Amino acid sequence: MTDKTEIESDKNQATILLVSGEMDKAILAFEIAAAMAAMGTKVNMWFVLYGVNCLKKPRSIFSWRKWFPKKAKAGHGRNPDTDSGLQRIIQVLNHDGASKVPLSQINYFGAGPLIFNSVMKKKGIASLETLIRESEALGVNFRICQICIDALALNVEEDLIVNAEVLGVSTYTLEVKNSHYNAVF
């Protein structure tokens, strides 16, 4: 039999996993995270694969740092000794920043997000960038899978706009087990 305090603690924790690198899914994930955090729920947001793109600092395709990133240091989920040139290609071709992630539908070579952001602004709806900042201010915990950091050759301190922890999948599974709410986008 489970005691009442354990049940109450489970009802006060949420885990949200963002796998998709698409704007509409990221907006929904951050809206839920911000709303739950505002109601006093401890929210852990996990980012894997292309989901981490919305947390990256916006960099132009012509940015020096995009083509020639600083030499990575070991630690924070990175093993630079095993890096390859293919990772640099992924970095250059990948989207950087919340304003550059595509829509899942009607993307139209990048015009869709511009139109969608314009409509959202006119209607007074928070942008993805605003939702990220509000979620951070509300105490949402940002966590990135260690494998993602190493595979995408990310530098947590230099590439991200938020403070994020680099943790393994075992931590994610424990948090899901202890959460009352779990969602994957």
- The total domain count for the chain is 1
Cα gap 11→6, rounded to integer Å: 9
The answer, yes or no, to whether residue 3 has pLDDT greater than 60, is no
Phi and psi (nearest 5°) for 40? 90, 10
CA 69, 127, 25: angle at the middle one, nearest 5?
80
Q: Report pTM.
A: 0.80
Residue 80 lies in a domain: yes
HSE (side-chain half, CA atoms, 13 Å) at 14: 22
Residue 147 lies in a domain: yes
Cα gap 6→21, rounded to integer Å: 35
Cβ proximity of 174 and 154 under 8 Å: no
Residue 1 lies in a domain: no
Residue 86 lies in a domain: yes
41-55, 59-73, 98-112, 154-168: range with highest mean pLDDT: 41-55
Residue 102 lies in a domain: yes
Cβ proximity of 94 and 63 under 8 Å: no
Reported as a single tens digit per residue, the pLDDT across 94-119 is 777 777 787 788 777 778 788 888 88
Between residues 7 and 114, the one the model is more confident about = 114
Residue 3 lies in a domain: no
Domain with 33 in it: what CATH number?
3.40.1260.10
Please report which confidence band the pLDDT of residue 138 belongs to, taking 50, 70 and 90 as the band edges.
very high
How far is C-alpha 124 from the chain's CA centre?
23
Cα gap 143→163, rounded to integer Å: 9
29-33, 71-75, 80-84: range with highest mean pLDDT: 29-33
Domain that holds residue 104: 13-184
The answer, yes or no, to whether residue 5 has pLDDT greater than 70, is no
Residue 58 lies in a domain: yes
- The torsion of the CA quartet 166, 95, 114, 157, rounded to 10 degrees, works out to 40
Residue 20 lies in a domain: yes
Q: Mean pLDDT of all residues in the chain?
A: 83
